[in-house]
Amino acid sequence: MLKIENLHAEIDGKPILRGLTLTIGKGEVHAIMGPNGSGKSTLSYLIAGRPGYTVTEGSITWNGKDLLALEPEERAGEGVFLAFQYPVEIPGVNNVYMLRAAVNGIRKYRGEPEISAVDFLNLVKTKTREIGLKEGLLNRPVNQGFSGGEKKRNEVFQMSILEPSLAILDETDSGLDIDALKIVADGVNRLRSPDRAFMVVTHYQRLLDYIVPDHVHVLANGRIVKSGPRELALELEAKGYDWLLEEAA
Amino acid sequence: MATPQTEVSELLNRKYDAGFYTDIEQDQAPPGLNEDIIRLISSKKEEPEWMLQWRLRAFERWQKMPEPKWAHVHYPPIDYQALCYYSAPKSRANAPKSLDEVDPKLLETYKKLGIPLEEQMMLAGVAVDAVFDSVSVHTTFKDKLAAAGVIFCSFSEAVREHPDLVRKYLGSVVPQGDNYFAALNSAVFSDGSFVYIPPNTRCPMELSTYFRINAMNTGQFERTLVVADAGSYVSYLEGCTAPQRDENQLHAAVVELVALDNAEIKYSTVQNWYPGDEEGRGGIYNFVTKRGDCRGRNSKISWTQVETGSAITWKYPSCVLKGENSVGEFYSVAVTHHRQQADTGTKMIHLGRNTRSTIISKGISAGRGQNAYRGLVRIAKSAENARNYTQCDSLLMGNECGAHTFPYVEVRNASAKVEHEASTSKISEDQLFYLRSRGIGSEDAVNLIVNGFCKEVFKELPMEFAVEAQKLLNITLEGAVG
């Protein structure tokens, strides 16, 4: 279970989150929506452990573990995964080679032996088919020369290989056409399981037609201002965010 | 998103791994440089008169030359009279005939470096001409090479056993007066390796020399000469590490390569001399002159270097492309960390028709390291249809390091095609965080990024060297990024 309590965080002295509280249980899919600049990406980054933020108050725990005390790679070892909004390019680093280093990094953290080359290749083959990733992209440098859609698909591909127990998707729908969106959503839905929690960050409700959430939260001015069932997203689609902001103020 | 660079500077701090010192008695000349010292060196090595005269002529020229100041490096003046110019392990008096006779401490040193000679001989099939300080102590695989007609021996031995070859080629690529440090080397060179591959012979194994500097205050002046006769091929590997110490050491080596018609020489270097501590104290001054002469038609010389050590590197492995259709290549990774300074690059001198050259240079700067690429591509009037491709990339780690590029292009023939590409980039927090969020530890993440950056060069190295180079790079940059 992910438990975020009264989280206050700032960057360069500028407060972004101001008392955010959120709980996501195992097997649940929660959508985080909200206007631009409300702190959605900051929340994703804080859970994954991106350096540069200062937490001034509050806590984030995952299955009882204090995530804020862990390095990003340790959080990955604890099952946290972030699908980036803008996946970065890493020249010269083979996509699959990187992924194998990731799998083994996580295994090492858990005290498990390294994956054998054969097992890993089989895993890659299966998942490549499932996600519909072009095989040609496997041995290219990480994200280099990938189209926007290919980058997002690569994120979901990585997620399916690493099999996280807490998956955060940061605006995975941005920049995707409807076909790519469906494929990415399929990939995510395939991973839905009673053991896995999802936090889906999105600006538009469109994605939620394909990845149907159990709960929807609206983030504004650094805190959750409204929570509700899946229908809340549709209401937001129709009415925009302003009424909520006024309500919150 | 603001991302403090302090993160990027915590990961690069670790002690020099090969830092140890072997206590072996030295047979050492008093400090200072004069004619008497040169005569002493020559007589210790039982050299013929012509060799002594050659040294003395070089010394004469050196005395009239000013020390070059144009490189982008800074260091206190070197007192050439305070250095020792000769030092030999004592056990040389009765030179060993086999490994059993080699000073056990020496063998221990190699073991610490992870290059046990025995294993090296059996497993890798690499012939090792190990230069320990100034005198070659051990040469292996001589018989196998001799069967192929290949000569691979210490330079001193070559002077005694193959004087005709040495006299014919010595100084024919790097003349005595070529530059200040080459002249100094010519006067006092201690020892080195000599290789001759006879016509139409493919050298049956990779040739390798491990250099190691191991005496206080002793300049190391290696001299290497590789001659590939018509239609022959040789791959030569040069690698070195040195024990940790406090005083700067001068190293001025000269390497000459000659490739005749249809011959090919591949010369690979992994350089890991003591770079000095975090404040730049100690560390080797590495002033090296390396040049290859593509003398014959269709000849090819390719330099591959991975430079991670030394406080100061001043080194430009070059190719003179005389023969028609000859090819010159330069692949380089140069790393500077802490206060290391490197001014390195290449010269491609196109003289013959249809000559081609490729330059791939990767500079990595971390800490307060300064890294300069300096390259010259010269297309002479006579070089019809010459081609050059240059790619020059710099990677910065942190905010206090520097990358500099000084490309010179001189074209005197309108048919030439010369391309130059350059880039400078920084290891970004975004890249690091991306990899770490996937479960890859921060040091491994840095290694991945750096090795990716160097990939084009590493793939030019012989297999066993590529692995070593990658390892070395990782060790060198440990603590560079956090």
Q: Per residue in B216-267, pLDDT tens?
A: 434 578 899 999 999 999 999 887 554 444 455 788 999 999 999 999 999 9
Hey, CA dihedral for A13, A14, A20, A24, is it positive or negative?
negative
> CB distance from B6 to chain A under 8 Å?
no
Half-sphere exposure of residue A6: CA atoms within 13 angstroms, side-chain side: 3
- What are the tokens at A34? 């909200």
How high is the pLDDT of residue B163?
95
3-class secondary-structure state, position A62? strand
Look at residue B49 and tell me whether its pLDDT is greater than 80.
Answer: yes
Cα–Cα separations (whole angstroms), residue B375 to B302, B348, B405: 15, 8, 8
Closest CA to B371 of B325, B412, B403, B408: B403
- What are the tokens at A57? 């108050």
How high is the pLDDT of residue A9?
96
Cα–Cα separations (whole angstroms), residue B449 to B107, B267, B473: 36, 26, 11
Closest residue to A162, CB basis, from B7, B438, B442: B438
- Residue ranges of alpha helices (H) inside B221-365 are none
> CB distance from B429 to chain A under 8 Å?
yes
pLDDT (mean) for B429-455: 92
How high is the pLDDT of residue B26?
56
How high is the pLDDT of residue B239?
72
What does the alpha-carbon distance between residue A7 and residue A63 come to, in Å, rounded to a whole number? 17
H helix or E strand, kind and range, residue B241: strand B233-241
Closest CA to B330 of B407, B403, B385: B407
Q: Would you list the DSSP string of B45-73? A: TT--HHHHHHHHHHHHHHHTPPPP--SS-
How high is the pLDDT of residue B248?
53
Q: Which residues of A touch B (CB under 8 A)?
A: 11-12, 45, 48-52, 71-73, 75-77, 80-82, 84, 87-88, 90-94, 98-99, 101-103, 105-106, 109, 141, 158, 162
- What are the tokens at A9? 């965080």
Percent over 90 (pLDDT), chain B: 44
Q: Do A73 and B448 touch (CB under 8 A)?
A: no
**What is the least distance, in Å, from the CA of A108 to any CA of chain B?**
9
What does the alpha-carbon distance between residue A97 and residue A105 come to, in Å, rounded to a whole number? 12
Measured between beta carbons, the chain B residues lying within 8 angstroms of A11 are 1-2
Residue appearing with tokens 């206090």: B400
Q: Do B452 and A141 touch (CB under 8 A)?
A: yes
CB B75 within 8 Å of CB B193: no
Rg (CA), chain A: 18
3-class secondary-structure state, position B252? coil
What does the alpha-carbon distance between residue B180 and residue B189 come to, in Å, rounded to a whole number? 14
Closest CA to B340 of B301, B284, B406: B284
H helix or E strand, kind and range, residue B107: helix B104-112
Strands B264-272 and B233-241: parallel
Q: Do B435 and A102 touch (CB under 8 A)?
A: yes
Interface A:B, Cβ pairs < 8 A: 95
Q: Do A103 and B439 touch (CB under 8 A)?
A: yes
Q: Which of residues 440-459 of B touch A (CB under 8 A)?
A: 440-442, 444-445, 448-449, 451-456
Measured between beta carbons, the chain A residues lying within 8 angstroms of B436 are 49, 71-73, 76
Assembly ipTM: 0.96
What does the alpha-carbon distance between residue B260 and residue B324 come to, in Å, rounded to a whole number? 11
pLDDT (mean) for B438-456: 90
The end-to-end CA distance of chain A, in Å, is 30
What does the alpha-carbon distance between residue B230 and residue B47 come to, in Å, rounded to a whole number? 29
Q: Which of B55-59, B145-149, B260-264 has the lowest mean pLDDT?
A: B145-149
Largest CA distance in chain B: 71
Q: Do B434 and A75 touch (CB under 8 A)?
A: no
How high is the pLDDT of residue B218?
43
β-partners of residue B266 are B235, B302
Residues in Cβ contact with B150 at an 8 Å cutoff, skipping those fewer than 6 apart: B195, B196, B197, B198, B201, B203, B204, B234
Q: Which residue has the higher pLDDT, A213 or B104?
A: A213
Domain boundaries, given as residue ranges, for chain B = 20-428
Strands B207-212 and B233-241: parallel
Per-residue pLDDT tens, chain A, 249 aa: give them.
Answer: 999 999 999 999 999 999 999 999 999 999 999 988 889 999 999 999 999 999 999 999 999 999 999 999 999 999 999 999 999 999 889 999 999 999 999 999 999 999 998 999 999 999 998 888 888 888 899 999 898 888 998 999 999 999 999 999 998 888 788 888 888 898 889 999 999 999 999 988 889 999 999 999 999 999 999 999 999 988 888 888 888 877 766
**What is the least distance, in Å, from the CA of A102 to any CA of chain B?**
5
3-class secondary-structure state, position A244? helix
Compute the mean pLDDT over every residue in chain B, rounded to the nearest whole number. 81
How high is the pLDDT of residue B141?
64
pLDDT digits (tens, 9 = 90+) for B64-98: 999 988 888 888 888 888 887 877 654 334 444 55
Residue type, B345: G
Strands A166-170 and A80-83: parallel
Q: b or e along A75-95 (b: 16 or more beta carbons within 10 Å of the residue's beta carbon)?
A: bbbbbbbbbbbbbbbbbbbbb
CATH domain A2-248 topology: Rossmann fold (3.40.50)
Instruction: Indicate the pLDDT class of residue B275, thresholds 50, 70 and 90.
Output: confident
What does the alpha-carbon distance between residue B341 and residue B440 come to, in Å, rounded to a whole number? 31
Q: Do A92 and B453 touch (CB under 8 A)?
A: yes
> CB distance from B428 to chain A under 8 Å?
yes
φ, ψ of residue B163 to 5 degrees: the values are -60, -35
pLDDT digits (tens, 9 = 90+) for A9-32: 999 999 999 999 999 999 999 999
Residues in Cβ contact with B157 at an 8 Å cutoff, skipping those fewer than 6 apart: B136, B194
How high is the pLDDT of residue B5?
39
Q: Do A87 and B434 touch (CB under 8 A)?
A: yes
β-partners of residue B238 are B209, B269
pTM listed for this prediction: 0.78
Percent over 70 (pLDDT), chain B: 77
pLDDT digits (tens, 9 = 90+) for B379-415: 999 999 999 999 999 999 888 888 899 999 999 999 9
Half-sphere exposure of residue A19: CA atoms within 13 angstroms, side-chain side: 1
Domain boundaries, given as residue ranges, for chain A = 2-248
Residue appearing with tokens 């980039």: B425
How high is the pLDDT of residue B138?
43
What does the alpha-carbon distance between residue B345 and residue B314 come to, in Å, rounded to a whole number? 9
